[in-house]
Chain A
């Protein structure tokens, strides 16, 4: 994950885990001593967005760019002008959490001017336990759709295989094998995979050819507690 610097755009289908991965990647990199900013570009879905975890990220010194407070809970497509600015002058790591599917990625195309001449990593988050990305061809179609809508190119894959609380160790290994095959088929590097921090002690990480990002779950329903971030 060390090579992920500059602008990193997180894309993928609805519910692939873009926001949970973005938050955890931001925290991981911040702990490694890197300056991190996160932009919530999800203009599509009003629930479970980066903005929900903003306070916790701010406490760690991670700057989160979201629409103005009074519009926070509106389902309005508000693109803060600050985002164009942060793309033009990126911090050590600028994470852009896009909305789901090609529809959510469309907004990236409107930022084309700002992205011009910038080196951008665009990572496709894949959870093979989600509908429409449970086959290699489904993932490739999703990538094509997102690339067309965003007018940008996916540069790497992130494996985020999980069934939330019901994820088994077997699921993690199956998920890894799936994204490895996707990486071979698409010739895109497998940047990292994720594993819930509770499962990590039982996982043989030597089995993986890529780094592992531990997930400390932040987006939880109201009857559960988000993991404490230190």
Chain B
């Protein structure tokens, strides 16, 4: 059978297995618990490990331990659970261990709600844990892309020896779409003998490896932070991903939108096109690194009057959009944050209101 019909959460679990990750530690939380449920059944079938931690804090450090030993490992959670993993994320980043985190975002702050949201944009792209660290953050707009991003995440985490985060939302986790698991995205785990605590016998070496994040000496800590910064700079050069939509027209409005809400924007753009009103979109697929140049270029087009950041939050990505546009065009924001996703009609009204300002 070719395609199968999967819920986003199930597909994320299966994608990790297909990517060669056989270690999954997690703690359940709505709206991503189906990942744990699915993998509690699938991991034993493929000889993998499913382990439910006693809390998200524990899970975060289980990932640190496994990743430090050189194993491919991942977890999934939702907003408050990711907050609890924040400390471990910082440690893992500092210790330069590859690991994959999936956040199926729900409404916040606090306990918030269980409906879809993009309110963890800051947490994912600007920190969440302490210290100078960055995550490579990818945001899928549907179930198939979630599959592909999860499969890509493991080799990317290994390339940079850095955690990769997939930022989804409750709807991506819960909705069903037909999916396939592309063979070309399967990958072999990289050789980690240079740094992982995978055992001196295993790597036939007399040198010990040490995985750590403690640097008490000021010079050594600064040197370490420069090493990390060089990796983040390299990500900015090599990993920017985005999708332009309707960009070859004389559009009056440029939308910047990512994840599930970009699907609504796409329908709005199609409907406006039928009215003879051209609107384009840049959809960031990586949130860090952010497609700054693409947005600046698209905003600079003569026909473009205004740039609108449309997000399921009270205005987070808009700060990166403003930074990218460099004041060349006015930047507006529209967002919803309770869990109700706007309809294409609502987006159309918003776009028109910004043009007639």
Contacts and interface: CB of A to CB of B under 8 A. Distances in A.
Interface in A143-191: 162-166
Contacts of A73: 113-115, 339
B114 A46 contact: yes
A115 interface: no
Nearest to A103: B37
A90 interface: no
A47 B31 contact: yes
Interface stretch (A27-35, A63-71, A128-136): A128-136
A47 B175 CA distance: 8
Interface string B7-40: 1001000100000000000000011001000100
A131 B176 contact: no
B266 interface: yes
Nearest to A162: B5
A222 interface: yes
A221 interface: yes
A127 interface: yes
Nearest to A174: B1
Interface in B98-116: 113-115
B344 interface: yes
Interface of A is mostly: loop
A130 to B, nearest CB: 5
Contacts of B3: 129, 163, 166
A127 B4 CA distance: 10
B198 interface: no
A129 B175 contact: no
A27 B212 CA distance: 62
A47 B106 CA distance: 12
A223 B7 contact: no
A75 interface: yes
Contacts of B341: 222
A223 B4 CA distance: 22
A221 B171 contact: yes
Contacts of B115: 46, 73
Interface string B319-344: 00000000000000000000101111
Give chain B's interface residue range (CB within 8 Å of chain A). 20 to 34
Interface in B140-175: 170-171, 174-175
A164 B10 contact: no
A163 B175 contact: no
A223 B5 contact: no
A14 B173 CA distance: 13
B43 to A, nearest CB: 14
B95 interface: no
B1 A134 contact: yes
Contacts of A47: 31, 170-171, 174-175
B174 A48 contact: yes
The interface centre, meaning the residue of B6, B14, B114, B178 with most chain A CB atoms within 10 A of its CB, is B178
A35 B184 CA distance: 54
A164 B175 CA distance: 11
A45 B174 contact: yes
Contacts of A128: 1
Nearest to B13: A131
Contact of A223 (B1, B6, B114, B264): B264
Interface of A: 14-15, 45-48, 73-75, 127-132, 134, 162-166, 221-224
30 contacts: A14-B7, A14-B10, A15-B7, A46-B30, A46-B114, A47-B31, A48-B175, A73-B113, A73-B114, A74-B114, A75-B30, A127-B5, A129-B3, A129-B4, A129-B178, A130-B6, A131-B10, A131-B38, A162-B5, A163-B178, A164-B177, A166-B3, A166-B178, A221-B171, A221-B175, A222-B171, A222-B263, A222-B343, A223-B264, A224-B267
Given A15-B5, A132-B41, 15 more contacts: A14-B7, A15-B7, A47-B175, A48-B174, A129-B4, A129-B5, A134-B4, A162-B5, A221-B175, A221-B260, A222-B263, A223-B263, A223-B343, A223-B344, A224-B267
